[in-house]
Amino acid sequence: MKTAILVDGGFYRRRAQSRLGEKTAKERADELKMYCYRHLYHHGAQISDLYRIFYYDCLPMDKKVYHPLLQKQVDFSRSELRTWMLAFIEELKKKRKFAIRLGKLADEQAKFLLREDTTRKLCRGILRIEELQEQDFMLDVSQKGVDMKIGLDIASLAYKQQVDQIVLISGDSDFVPAAKLARREGIDFILDPLYNPIKPDLFEHIDGLRTCDPKFNPKWVCTSQQKLDTNI
């Protein structure tokens, strides 16, 4: 059985940083590769051959955006995130069987907004405008083309019968139309939400749900006796 693994990069990076901690670009790239390969194994036995790993993401902005609290332009071309992301993508490009699919950020519409919890505090009188800090703001910028690229690749893999199984690492429901198409073509469609909650009605559009590392589960607690099987 041949398996294609599709990774929503923005989702994976956020989830991995939250659950597995900060890492260098190389460490995160190695971690992602090892995690994807775990989908080819079950209880230590190989159950599938890898066709390819498709990674979808956007490079960070390299423009300046006005910050209303600081009252100045913030230059994202010099940000640590951009430096890290460029190094991360380069590490992935070096890895065998990885295909990088990059969309674009709608950076012409980028702006700083108050965080939702900060807005609630202001409305309730818990926080005053004079007490706002830089971390109370977040950059609002949307991706362009990533979901479309994922859908097109799923359709191509299905119509050309290049694989028997597709594993999608993602946390949203934008994939449903493509998943339905793949299943009609006889593809086994597996969703890996990295223990992120999904809507109950999504189950009718997938063939299975599988996350390979319990550390992505917020309820997971490691004890001194507990050993995580990291063999692929």
Place of tokens 């390299």: 62
CATH architecture of 2-64+80-106+142-216: 3-Layer(aba) Sandwich (3.40)
Type of residue at 33 = K
3-state secondary structure at position 221: coil
Does 232 have pLDDT greater than 50? no
Does 193 have pLDDT greater than 70? yes
Q: What is the pLDDT of residues 43-60, one digit of tens each?
A: 889 999 999 999 999 988
Give the mean model confidence (pLDDT) for residues 29-41: 97
Looking at 39-135, list the stretches that DSSP marks H as alpha helix, in order from N- to C-terminal side: 80-93, 116-124
Strands 111-114 and 137-140: antiparallel
The whole-number pLDDT of residue 222 equals: 54
Place of tokens 């332009």: 73
Give the mean model confidence (pLDDT) for residues 127-132: 91
The whole-number pLDDT of residue 180 equals: 93
Does 80 have pLDDT greater than 80? yes
For residues 77 and 62, the answer to whether their CB atoms sit within 8 Å is: yes
Instruction: Using pLDDT thresholds of 50, 70 and 90, give the confidence band for residue 175.
Output: confident
Q: How far apart are CA 216 and CA 194, in angstroms?
A: 6
Q: What is the pLDDT of residues 151-169, one digit of tens each?
A: 999 999 999 999 999 999 9
For residues 190 and 208, the answer to whether their CB atoms sit within 8 Å is: yes
The whole-number pLDDT of residue 218 equals: 80
Closest CA to 194 of 175, 167, 164: 167
Residue 179 sits at φ, ψ, to 5 deg, of -65, -40
Closest CA to 166 of 36, 44, 34: 36
Place of tokens 């960070």: 60
